[in-house]
Amino acid sequence: MRIDIITIFPEMFQGPFSESIIKRGLSKGLVSIHIHQLRDFTTDKHKRVDDYAFSGGAGMVMMIEPVDRCITSLKAQRTYEEIIYLSPDGLLLNQAISNQLSLCENLILLCGHYKGIDERIREHLITKEISIGNYVLSGGELAAAVLTDSIIRLIPGVLNDETSALSDSFQDGLVSPPVYTRPRVYNNWEVPAVLLCGDDKKIDAWKYEKALERTAQRRPELLRDND
């Protein structure tokens, strides 16, 4: 998989992409991430990529020309399944979306800033808009990093145990059940005996029951969505 990220703050990705699962995927050659400085695609001598909004109002708007030039340059080299804009009013990111995107070969992520982007970019260049939550960030970089992580961990071979991602929260519409590790007893707090019984059917039944119970307590809307 190849992911191209368009941003005016490339340095923001150095930390998230140089550690943990994303680093492993990059090291194994299972994914490549390419960061593009949007300012390299502007014709403005001062490297500006934003301007005042027509009709006035507070905040600057990212201009269409540099974004179009960057996307056009990338599309001339390969075909992209999706060109994604990270936006507060996009589709709310969920596991199903991450699963779908993990099957793609090439993706473009556009990180907005300021008051947003020229609407014509959204109308004519973007194929999908994604939000990571009902709140506003200073820019799309952190959202792009979250989306990238949620996708890459699903690529076969990235995780040491490929079945691990299949048991994550939300894969079956439920949150994950409780998990425990050694020691078996700590401060008189004991691991549930069923997890030590060696009977896979009993253990699976317990996990499913606890997942339902925890989902009902903490994320009841997930059960409603599955009705």
Whether residue 140 sits in one domain with residue 74: yes
The count of structural domains within the chain is 2
Cα–Cα distance measured from residue 206 to residue 203, given in angstroms and rounded to the nearest whole number: 5
> Model confidence at 205, in pLDDT bands (50, 70, 90)?
very high
pLDDT digits (tens, 9 = 90+) for 40-77: 999 999 999 999 999 887 889 999 999 999 999 999 99
> 158 pLDDT exceeds 70?
yes
The pLDDT assigned to 57 comes to 79
Residue 104 falls within a domain, yes or no?
A: yes
Q: Which residues pair with 113 in a beta bridge?
A: 139
Residue type, 56: G
Residue 161 falls within a domain, yes or no?
A: no
Residue 160 falls within a domain, yes or no?
A: no
pTM of the model: 0.87
What CATH number has the domain bearing residue 108? Answer: 3.40.1280.10
CB contact at 8 A, 22 and 16: yes
Looking at 152, 182, 210, which one is the last position of a domain?
Answer: 152
What CATH number has the domain bearing residue 213? Answer: 1.10.1270.20
C-alpha distance from residue 30 to each of 18, 26, 148, 153, 154 (Å): 15, 6, 13, 10, 11
- Average pLDDT (173-177) is 89
Residue 126 falls within a domain, yes or no?
A: yes
CB contact at 8 A, 89 and 122: no
Residue 162 falls within a domain, yes or no?
A: no
